[in-house]
Structure 1
């Protein structure tokens, strides 16, 4: 054979071998990430009497192994192991259950054999649990939460795809260091921003600043990142928290009464989030009662019931003179959790206000 032909053939063979080594699956199988799926119940674990039952069903009845079995495709993208920690509707979450979940997530993430966590959860309070984990879990490894608006027995159930997408995000290197994420309806949201905006629609979860990214054909695509402190940057230490102080929410409206506020104080509230109209407004006839409450050592925090927007300190209310607090853009339910954690560190009003503006 012509020597030049032999030389070209050898170079071609070497080139093909190098290419094969560079292509995942040809030279060796790509190492899959190890993901733990923690199930807490919710609609994704629900079942209706028929496939036509989309909004009428029993939540939290399907075990984690059956949820996983319904989406075998998750095993093509990661090594997934299931764990059932609760079997409840998310409206039944309590402070104690929040702490239990956060501690279990933290424990799992300390293992070198765990690369990420996926949590199935009811949608009613998913935004609260995810925000709590965002503030307390000290790890850069992905923690991804999901739920569903329709039970698995329903026509066009959204849970299976949400689960597949959540596992894909948890297994993505791009998700590392972005805090707790919520994956719903093909979108990736920051736990800090996301909120449920509709009682029944599958596109209910929205963030005022938009999602962080999307899941496209099982691939996570990020377009922005959260910059407020979270996870490893957070100052809140689970090891130093045995219980969360009682922080409650009262709703503002025309002709409102002080009765709810007084009842919350009597029940042991350490702080009350006033979900006021507009920019957290307080009616003139409620200033006195709220100052009485503050005089008893209970913190008063102004938030807005509108669902989004910044509450400005000393706008139409004399916050400094009253020794009240204001949220930044946290909604009342997230402000409750942030303040509960903050109160485990300080009871100084100025320091508490700094925490609201920081996180």
Structure 2
């Protein structure tokens, strides 16, 4: 066989191998889940001045396509594409962004070519967004909210691994039907139960009394329990027609409180007020005149606690029946605010709203 024949055979073999590689890649892509990554900003998209800057960095500067490109391993576990919903530090989260995000999530999950969604988010209000979505998403497909405590520029940055594993979780059949999930630090939480507990450590997200739903072992999510409270497709809340949410604020109780905050919130137009009381949701005597005046203007009052954990006993530290208060169950003030906002889109009857707090 002459040299030309060898070259011809070599070219043919190279073409065959290339075609096989293309076919194998196409076959692999066909078997991977399709995961949409929606970005809202936060530390996971932040940047610090040095690789030791873990506080005082700038959040929300990296666009979603760059986030995806920074984790090339994502392509091995899912067919991913990104979309920028907002680009903010999460302390600047608004009702408007929530509505935009919730509607877009529902649009995408209604598509046959979307198997799950990952939402990148700042950690400061991550738990609030997760609970809001847990109440308004209308699909059993996985939705995973993820963030990071260190910017990508820092040593031992946690964002890339969190995003990688959140993507695995969003494509996992084991995550179907478990409501909106939160995944950081290899720990899987329910969006209802989880809260940020530490200002600056990577193990900040916890459900102190209830515990996580599961964990990652390597690249495998493992669940040990499922949420029992109604969520997603089992809720009565529909945001498809909403352009805004009722104003609900939080009044924090403290020694020597005179009720001036409740008076100010009522004047500002609050439709509901969550009272973050002491102990088991206690209300100071000096606050009652302001509360009763607010109720005469139609303001719904929910009793929660600044303690952050525990069940608010109905008719325990206050006569809820007499004063038409709503007990927040075990929702902390910021999550009680989310549920009250959505409840007020359905009714302003405290008895009906109390039923919702027992259910959700």
Using the size of structure 2 for normalisation, the TM-score is: 0.91
- 1:316 Cα deviation after fit: 2.5
Kept after mapping to 1: 8 A contact 2:248/2:272: yes
Which deviates the most, 293-302 or 177-186?
293-302
In structure 1, what is the equivalent of residue 283 of structure 2?
A: 282
- 1:287 Cα deviation after fit: 2.1
Question: Compared with structure 1, are the counterparts of its residues 29 and 118 closer, same or farther at alpha carbon in structure 2 (3 Å cutoff)?
Answer: closer
In structure 2, what is the equivalent of residue 17 of structure 1?
A: none
Secondary structure of residue in 1 paired with 2:73: helix
In structure 2, what is the equivalent of residue 44 of structure 1?
A: 44
* Corresponding residue pairs, total: 335
- 1:216 Cα deviation after fit: 1.4
In structure 1, what is the equivalent of residue 75 of structure 2?
A: 75
Residue 260 (structure 1) aligned with residue 261 (structure 2): yes
Structure 1 CA distance for aligned equivalents of residues 295 and 89 of structure 2: 35
In structure 2, what is the equivalent of residue 226 of structure 1?
A: 227
List aligned pairs for 1:140-219, cutoff 5 A: 140-207=140-207, 208-219=209-220
- 1:239 Cα deviation after fit: 2.2
Provide structure 1 residue ranges, at least 5 long, that are not aligned to the other structure: 1-23
- 1:293 Cα deviation after fit: 1.7
In structure 2, what is the equivalent of residue 54 of structure 1?
A: 54
Question: Compared with structure 1, are the counterparts of its residues 216 and 241 closer, same or farther at alpha carbon in structure 2 (3 Å cutoff)?
Answer: same
In structure 1, what is the equivalent of residue 107 of structure 2?
A: 107
Question: Compared with structure 1, are the counterparts of its residues 280 and 28 closer, same or farther at alpha carbon in structure 2 (3 Å cutoff)?
Answer: closer
In structure 2, what is the equivalent of residue 20 of structure 1?
A: none
Q: CA RMSD in A?
A: 1.5
Question: Compared with structure 1, are the counterparts of its residues 192 and 53 closer, same or farther at alpha carbon in structure 2 (3 Å cutoff)?
Answer: same
- 1:43 Cα deviation after fit: 0.2
- 1:69 Cα deviation after fit: 1.4
Structure 2 CA distance for aligned equivalents of residues 236 and 72 of structure 1: 37
- 1:289 Cα deviation after fit: 2.3
Kept after mapping to 1: 8 A contact 2:96/2:243: no
Structure 1 CA distance for aligned equivalents of residues 306 and 257 of structure 2: 14
- 1:28 Cα deviation after fit: 7.6
Using the size of structure 1 for normalisation, the TM-score is: 0.91
Kept after mapping to 1: 8 A contact 2:278/2:307: yes
In structure 2, what is the equivalent of residue 12 of structure 1?
A: none
Secondary structure of residue in 2 paired with 1:37: strand
Structure 2 CA distance for aligned equivalents of residues 162 and 110 of structure 1: 26
Structure 1 CA distance for aligned equivalents of residues 80 and 206 of structure 2: 28
Structure 2 CA distance for aligned equivalents of residues 215 and 85 of structure 1: 28
**CA deviation profile, 1:107-130 (whole Å, cap 9, x unmatched):** 111111100000100000000001
List aligned pairs for 1:117-156, cutoff 5 A: 117-156=117-156
Structure 2 CA distance for aligned equivalents of residues 82 and 29 of structure 1: 17
Kept after mapping to 1: 8 A contact 2:259/2:286: no
**CA deviation profile, 1:201-254 (whole Å, cap 9, x unmatched):** 100000131110011111111110001111111110112433210000010111
List aligned pairs for 1:312-331, cutoff 5 A: 312-331=313-332
In structure 2, what is the equivalent of residue 16 of structure 1?
A: none
- 1:324 Cα deviation after fit: 1.3
Structure 2 CA distance for aligned equivalents of residues 200 and 336 of structure 1: 25
Provide structure 2 residue ranges, at least 5 long, that are not aligned to the other structure: 1-23
Structure 2 CA distance for aligned equivalents of residues 216 and 44 of structure 1: 22
Kept after mapping to 1: 8 A contact 2:304/2:312: yes
**CA deviation profile, 1:251-282 (whole Å, cap 9, x unmatched):** 01111131111111111000110000110001
In structure 2, what is the equivalent of residue 269 of structure 1?
A: 270
Which deviates the most, 142-151 or 308-317?
308-317
In structure 1, what is the equivalent of residue 9 of structure 2?
A: none
